[in-house]
Amino acid sequence: MFGTVAHAHVKPGHTQAVISLMEEWNRERKPKVKGALASYLFRSEKDPNEMIMVAVFQDRDSYYANAADPAQDRWYRRLREHLAEDPVWEDGEIIAQA
């Protein structure tokens, strides 16, 4: 498996918009994205405007195919409107799970 963890700072008052976009992705995009397995959105306990996003894919190829998809870029640009700055992305192979 392969995925990413992103740290993002949400603009104050934009949390619900980010949650709605994540729900939309799971409802509308995920069924169309080959290899998409799971996604999660965390809110930091230290900073309520810091969100941690996790996306899990079947493999590296499906992850990067989604990243290169223009529909994914359009969705990301809508998400980015609600963020104070670009997220910090950490991509990698998932080497263990419970």
Has residue 19 been placed in a domain?
yes
The domain total for the chain is 1
- 3-state DSSP percent of the chain in helix, strand and coil, to 5: 40, 35, 30
**Integer CA distances (angstroms), 60 to 1, 76, 97, in order:** 7, 19, 16
> How many angstroms separate the CA atoms of 60 and 94, rounded?
10
- pLDDT for position 98: 86
Has residue 77 been placed in a domain?
yes
Query: The domain spanning residue 11 has which CATH number?
Result: 3.30.70.100
Which domain, by its residues, includes 74?
Answer: 2-92
pLDDT tens digits, one per residue of 40-77? 999 999 999 999 999 999 999 999 999 999 999 999 99
CA-nearest of 70, 74, 76, 83 to 4 is 76
Has residue 85 been placed in a domain?
yes
| Unique residue bearing structure tokens 């980015």 | 80
